[in-house]
Structure 1
Amino acid sequence: MSADADLAELAAACGIFDQFRDLEGVMRPTSPDTQRALLRAGGFAAQSAAEVAESLARLRAEQAARLIPEEIIVTSGQAVSVPCAAAVDWQLVLEGADSVHLSGGATETVTLPSLPMGLHKLCARGSGRSSVCRVIAAPPRAPLLPEVTNQQKSWGVVAALYGLRSQRNQGLGDFEDLAQLAETLGPLGAGFLGLNPVHALGWAAAEVISPYSPSHRGCLNPAHLAIGRLPGAASGATATPAGGELIDYAAHGPQHRQALRGAYATFEQTATAADRAAFAEFVHAGGRLLEDFARFECLSTQHGTNRRLWPEALRHPELQRATALPEEAGFHLWMQWQADIQLGDAHRRAMDSGMGLGLYLDLAVGARRDGAEAWCAGEALARDVSLGAPPDHLSPAGQNWQLAAYAPRGLAGQDYAPFRTILRQSMRHCGLFRIDHALGLNRSYWIPDDGSPGGYIRQPFEALMALIAIEAHRAQTVIVGEDLGLVPDGFRETMADKGLYGYTVMQYEKTEAGRFRRTQDLRPQSLACFGTHDTPTIAGFCAGRDIDWWHRLGWIDEAARKRAQRRRKSERADLLGQPGTPAATDTPCDQIHRQLAGASAALAAVQLDDVLGVIEAQNLPGTVEEHPNWRRRSPVAIEALSGHEGLTKTARLMAEAGRGTFEDPI
């Protein structure tokens, strides 16, 4: 076989796409350089023809030596048949168990009784060799809205947690603000309160503010801890709320961190035996993930935020696990404990306020390559590549997110533990859970560091969907999969079959004729919204604020700006001219929310920014410092939202359309 044929076969066997269809519908081949780079990222030597041939031979030998499949996905509660290549003796160990659940012998098929939900291990021996099969037993699908809330439709509000304004916070929204906002929205009939990701950004990486660039998705951001809610917090710690339209991170950070250290010092000195026992139980339950995270926080404080520049011995978590945790780790563990308590309290208070789903949390697509999650992942991490996206309607220039990618083979080799743990941790305190860029569950676009063009690699879609269903059922959480971008054929249908709700953004929902799709025609099994943190607000869309920003930043010239504004004027007329019965006093925001209320989608979300008439977007993709991303504060304090005319009118529109109940106080 030729070297080119070997490379093509190895790439195909490792799930690397030989081509993909771009934004214009043109098939783009994956170059040999890209194939080699992606193979190396996944753990296969492929620099030369000899290395490719050797890697291919090793892969073939591994497959030929197997007695049973490496992995099977089955429906929990049903009997299982596993083919075997020779006569074997087998043992089944259930997830979380230390002893053998069943054992026996087989010649052609191992027959197992119905299995509970979980990732189990089937071990087989025979003919002088042994094999292990991952048996993923999952429900047919994730829970649906009626199964969790007994409602066919629901609505909610999405807000930027960091931007929440209150009379008690010091300029950055916190978990107490979140709880109080939920208690305001619940009586209005809202079924959920959504927020940006609250993943840990890294104690040493004080300059990082984007919630979509986390250090670890399985841990929480202590910057959102409400100081006044901490046992032992200094008196008057929140006595002087910060003003201004933009968040002053430089002023907030040092003051907030000093208060956190003071509260921890008080805990160490005065905590009761019961409190210490509760803290110890939290740390024990957090297991390796939590301890590794705390260890990373200590190391990054001492050696810098980029783990790839640390001394060699520190780059490998397995070497560090043999040593005792540093004393400073206690502080980071304690902050995670308190953040878990406060976020859990916010979710409980949201549910107690009448919300059927409570909090609606967001899972970022990945973690920073230099962060804690990448350090903890070990061999599950793809090497020398970044997650991104090819050019699409969201970003015509393509995107490099500088986020770590999990290698399918390496992740499976760890029984998907990093992915499963993050899901489990993230679903602890929510009834609705959004997976950002859910397309990555099916295929990921990897961009090599060596300058080779990016390419797609297939992910273990069936296994990941099964694991999501397991964790969603355990948490009784409804799942939303953000499915924007270049969507593979059949992806949305499969996602729906597995119980996930799609994500329909009105700004992107157009017919082939270029007209906005009627909200009555949106996918029923989806969450509908006008926009996201990356798109213009309703007021901004109508005014063409995003177009003005493109011109201000030099992305388009004056002539292009005028053309874009003319198109936007036409789009605005089309959008606001959709069928409905608008009242004479309806604003554009009211008209959009009326359409969302009557949408066929089961879930409808409105942005707090839209309700409050905000014109500027939270984020402008393609910018870092040029636009005040992740810095905008809400113009209205939480305490003033009760009885707010825009919020009350939105709630009334939703109730009239059959989404929840609302008794108008007027």
Structure 2
Amino acid sequence: MSGSALHELAQLCGVLPAFHDLQGNEHRTSDDTRRAMLRAMRIEAGTESDAEHALELLKSEQAAHIVSPEFVVTAGHGVLIPVRKACDWSLCTEDGQVIVQGFAEHHVDLPALEVGVYQLTVTSGEHRQTALVPAVPRQTPSLASRFGRERAWGVTAALYGLKSERNLGLGDYADLANLARTLGEKGAGFLGINPIHDWGWSTTDIASPYSPSHRGFLNTLHIAADAIPGLADNPNAAILVGRVRDTVDRGARSVDYQQFRARLQPLLRDLFALFTQDADEGSRARFRDFVQAGGDDLHLFATYETLAVTHGETWQLWPDAIRNPKTGTQSTADPREIDFHMWLQWVANVQLERISSAHAMPLGLYLDLAVGARRDGAEAWMGQDSLAAGVSLGAPPDHLSPEGQNWQLAAFAPSLSAKTHHHNLRSVLRQSMRSAGIIRIDHVLGLNRSFWIPDDGSPGAYIQQPFETLLALVGIEAHYADCLVVGEDLGLVPDGFRDALSARGLYSYSVLQYEKEADGSFRDPAHLRPHSLACFATHDTPTLYGYCAGRDIDWWQRLGWVDAGGAGQLREERRSSVAALVPDGAEPGTAIHNRLAHAPVAMASVQLDDILKEEEAQNLPGTIDEHSNWRRIYDASLETLGAVPELNDTAGLMQAAGRANIYPDGDD
């Protein structure tokens, strides 16, 4: 079937009819894909008759609207919102407080609003409708607005790989605080890490920070067991931690997550029991306040974690009675176990906030928001009312992955998410920005359109997202948190997309390895986008020294992705590329970091891997166990890092380029 009803219905629901790849080739959306996408949005269009019926219902629903379901306004400016018929109206805050009300014949006349999210309720006869009205700041926070300066630099590091004499074999939040202090003393303005979203207490086979269980909660594997609030001076806690610390192999070069979990998780249970017995009343009160502030979301998340302990992490296989949190009952969940998982989140949040309040560096933490969460995890379970069924997030072929990517991450349907006023996105943004000075939104293109891959084998296609609304919600949360936002805008970018992000104040993302002109030559640093954060490498690319040595090409050949002849050609091309970046006889790190330091970009980011001259990448896309993805431990310990000459050299380059550490009071 290729009837007009199916095509019109799909278009009204945001299924794009085609997209173009990097070579300009057009990929048309098939009818099988259209049906799969509509099914994912709870719309049945298996036959022409089904499609016609669904189209009639959708058009009838849209015709009944008195006002646009979502209407973005600029805070501080009055606005007229068109209505289709005369109506009574009222504008409320989300907690129900009426701000203003009146009667409209042609327009709702709204006064200037403060930044926030409002609900506009209109009533005409028997018909009542509520619309979402985000009042967005003109721009998100910037370096200039926060500190009166235009240039900064920072370091990105793999938290899991931090080595110290006190951690339990995995970098933790106390290590992060110590690293921030060291880098702040060297003049760095921020410290970036991979996502620290929750992996799931019961998860045993996940190592990637980009495959979380829930992005709105923290990874408790990074809890510093020797810095539990309320137990800092408790001798029994010190004994418990000391016993576990004595079992750690300090010579390990990579993380064994299963062994680490076996060490940490029983210890955390023991520390929770000790907290409930011995913690001071002030710490207990702060925990209770955290639970109250976390509300239903925190309790529901802890309920998922509790149920997963008994039934396994894949909620789709749970008994019917608990499979859906909105229609089922979770009475089988142990209340004490729920308290334990809420306590873990409190401890993680307290430890992370201590880093933010330490003022070791002016911008603090540069955190990463993953593009999505696992389909079998807590976020998908909690958000089933807006979850797209039978599809996964992914990406079509591009320069990052010529074969395309299926991430096996949960997709949220725009129309269903809108009915919840995009609750999931907003809660995830709020948590991610809570302790961050900068946040990077991975694959920010997802605010505009998402690539869905159906489970039934149909080709993937793009789904249009409510870009203006989602971008406004990002701006509102960034305003509340006073947080800078970087949009990772690599890959296939629609026309005008970067301009729209820039107009709202979001920073672009520039990776020097990919910054090339049409003829293949590297772009002159003077031509990089000023309103951006630039780096040479990311977790998914070769490190600086790995790039120069062609380590990625070695791996491709070892894995059979290229033959000897192809690898030889790639190495020759790489030698030419390195020669274009590094003058003859120059030290690669110095040359490339100097190039980065003097680029006109707002923020320059340097990998700790590159400072320490690591050749192995953190992650080799397309592999799981063949390469030591997300496991490599740094050779240098935190105790010795401050004396590493390359760190001082890098800091000197950034200082000379005018990217000195900047503080709110203006003192360097």
Shorter-chain TM-score: what band?
Answer: over 0.9
Q: Where in structure 2 are the equivalents of 1:640-651 lying within 5 Å?
A: 640-651=640-651
Give the corresponding residue for 1:358: 364
Q: Does 1:660 align with 2:622?
A: no
Q: Does 1:339 align with 2:348?
A: yes
Letter in 1 for 2:580: D
Q: Where in structure 2 are the equivalents of 1:191-590 lying within 5 Å?
A: 191-230=189-228, 231=231, 233-235=237-239, 236=242, 237-239=244-246, 241-242=248-249, 243-320=251-328, 323=331, 326=334, 327-349=336-358, 351=359, 353=360, 355-577=361-583, 586-590=586-590
Contact 1:538 1:589 in 2 (8 A): yes
Contact 1:166 1:241 in 2 (8 A): no
CA shift, 1:641, in A, is 0.9
Distance across 1 between alignment mates of 2:333 and 2:117: 30
Alpha-carbon displacement from aligned partner over 1:238-263 (angstroms, at most 9, x marks no partner) = 34543221112222211111111110
Secondary structure of the 1:54 match is helix
Contact 1:7 1:52 in 2 (8 A): yes
Unaligned runs of 5+ in 2: 663-668
Q: Does 1:22 align with 2:51?
A: no
Distance across 1 between alignment mates of 2:480 and 2:178: 27
CA shift, 1:64, in A, is 1.1
Q: Which moved more, 1:15-24 or 1:310-319?
A: 310-319
Letter in 1 for 2:434: R
Unaligned runs of 5+ in 1: none
Letter in 1 for 2:300: D
Give the corresponding residue for 1:144: 142
Letter in 2 for 1:17: L
Contact 1:142 1:499 in 2 (8 A): yes
Letter in 2 for 1:256: L
The alignment covers a number of residue pairs equal to 651
Q: Where in structure 2 are the equivalents of 1:146-185 lying within 5 Å?
A: 146-185=144-183
Q: Which moved more, 1:448-457 or 1:510-519?
A: 510-519
Contact 1:234 1:259 in 2 (8 A): no
Secondary structure of the 2:72 match is strand
Give the corresponding residue for 2:40: 41
Letter in 2 for 1:602: A
Alpha-carbon displacement from aligned partner over 1:9-53 (angstroms, at most 9, x marks no partner) = 111111111000012111111001101111111221111111111
Give the corresponding residue for 2:105: 107
Secondary structure of the 2:594 match is helix
Give the corresponding residue for 2:666: none
TM-score, with normalisation over the residues of structure 2?
0.95
Secondary structure of the 1:651 match is helix
Contact 2:362 2:661 in 1 (8 A): no
Contact 1:160 1:196 in 2 (8 A): yes
Q: Which moved more, 1:454-463 or 1:511-520?
A: 511-520
Give the corresponding residue for 1:58: 57
Give the corresponding residue for 1:117: 115
Contact 2:118 2:133 in 1 (8 A): yes
Alpha-carbon displacement from aligned partner over 1:148-202 (angstroms, at most 9, x marks no partner) = 1221100000000000011111211000000000000101110000001000000
CA shift, 1:108, in A, is 1.3
Letter in 1 for 2:13: C
Alpha-carbon displacement from aligned partner over 1:485-509 (angstroms, at most 9, x marks no partner) = 1111111111111111011000000
CA shift, 1:319, in A, is 3.3
Q: Does 1:6 align with 2:41?
A: no
Contact 2:446 2:465 in 1 (8 A): yes
Distance across 1 between alignment mates of 2:256 and 2:105: 69
CA shift, 1:119, in A, is 1.5
Contact 1:148 1:478 in 2 (8 A): no
Give the corresponding residue for 1:602: 602
Distance across 2 between alignment mates of 1:228 and 1:128: 61
Contact 2:322 2:330 in 1 (8 A): no
Distance across 2 between alignment mates of 1:4 and 1:149: 58
Secondary structure of the 2:141 match is coil
Contact 2:88 2:103 in 1 (8 A): yes
Distance across 2 between alignment mates of 1:189 and 1:3: 62
TM-score, with normalisation over the residues of structure 1?
0.96
Contact 1:234 1:262 in 2 (8 A): no
Give the corresponding residue for 2:665: none
CA shift, 1:117, in A, is 1.4
CA shift, 1:80, in A, is 2.1
Percent identity of paired positions between Structure 1 and Structure 2: 50
Distance across 2 between alignment mates of 1:244 and 1:3: 59
